[in-house]
Amino acid sequence: MKKYLLVIIICLLCIGCGKKEVVIKEKEDIKEEVVEDSYKDLNNTPIGLYRLSGNKLVKVEKDIKKFKVEEDIGIYQVYFSNDKEIDLNKGFADSYYDLYNKYNVKVGFNIKFKLKNGEDISYNILNPSQTFDKWEYLMNYLYDDYANKGKSFYSHIEENQYNDSTLFTAIKLQSSYQCDNIDSNIILSVFTYDSEDDFLDGEYRGNSLYSTKICQSVEDC
């Protein structure tokens, strides 16, 4: 009889321990480490996309251009300003260079559009190699006016020419062989950044950004 009682007590103890273990495990599963994003952007550099005419810059708020294969959509000058119109006291390249040294930030671009199949396209251009992203829809070219100052003609920046002193003073968009598959306006953005923290999941999240809309008709804009 005593043996039976002893066996029953041991079984009850084991069941009790098992329950405690399950409770402990459940409590451990509930615990989740909460990581707060401490990102705060203090970069308020003014930035815009402009059309250059002589020594005058006019901000491009929207652009209208039919997307035809291998035809230019537009050339957009980058400038560190929020003003709609700017009369430059000296050449564009020197004016850009002075402000670049003042703000000491990097310049990047983002392009967004939608395809006929419903796919949303969004990609950044931070260096010449990324101008080949989505090349089948848009051909993108970066220019450095300061490095080519004084030249009447110069080409876009190639990857083998790119280094820490390269400036992005302009970007050109050209329609490519699958441009007919673009089923929306193109949103071209320019932004300034100083570290990888300015991006989250590939998207720029800083304060220093300007976007312009490129439409195929007045009605679309």
Dist. CA 105–CA 68, nearest whole Å = 35
Residues 23 and 77 in one domain: no
**In which band, very low, low, confident or very high, does the pLDDT at 168 lie, cut at 50, 70 and 90?**
very high
Same domain (yes/no): 6, 56: no
Backbone angles phi, psi at 76, to 5 degrees: -125, 120
Flag whether the pTM goes above 0.85: no
Statement to judge: residues 76 and 144 lie in one domain: yes
177: helix, strand or coil: coil
- Say yes or no: 111 and 22 in one domain: no
* Residue 76 resides in a domain: yes
Taking CB atoms within 8 Å and a gap of at least 24, the contacts of 123-127 are 124/199, 124/202, 124/204, 125/171, 127/159, 127/162
Asked if residue 37 is part of any domain, the answer here is: no
- Does a structural domain hold residue 41? no
Same domain, yes or no: 24 and 52: no
Q: Tell whether 164 and 192 lie within a shared domain.
A: yes
Nearest to 172 by CA among 51, 46, 57: 51
pLDDT tens digits, 97-150 = 999 999 999 999 999 999 999 999 999 999 999 999 999 999 999 999 999 998
Asked if the model's pLDDT at residue 19 lies above 90, the reply is no
Residue 53 shares a structural domain with residue 154: yes
Band (pLDDT 50/70/90 cuts) for residue 16 is low
Based on the domain organization, do 97 and 205 belong to the same domain?
yes
Task: Tell me what percent of the residues of the chain surpass a pLDDT of 90.
Answer: 79
Same domain flag for 12 and 115? no
Q: Where would I find the beta strands (DSSP E) of the chain?
A: 48-53, 56-59, 62-64, 72-79, 85-87, 106-114, 120-125, 138-143, 170-175, 186-193, 199-200, 203-204, 209-215
Task: Assess whether 69 and 145 both reside in one domain.
Answer: yes
pLDDT of residue 3: 47
| Residue 38 maps to a domain | no
pLDDT in tens, 172-204: 999 999 999 999 999 999 999 999 999 999 999
Residue matched to tokens 């304060």:
207
Q: Per residue in 200-212, pLDDT tens?
A: 999 999 999 999 9
Could you tell me if residue 33 is inside a domain?
A: no
Q: Could you tell me the residue range of the domain that residue 207 belongs to? A: 48-215
Total structural domains within the chain: 2
User: Would residue 220 count as lying in a domain?
Assistant: no
Residue 109 sits in the same domain as residue 164: yes
Domain contains 39:
no
Domain presence at residue 58: yes
Tell whether 161 and 203 lie within a shared domain: yes
Pairing state between β 199-200 and 203-204: antiparallel
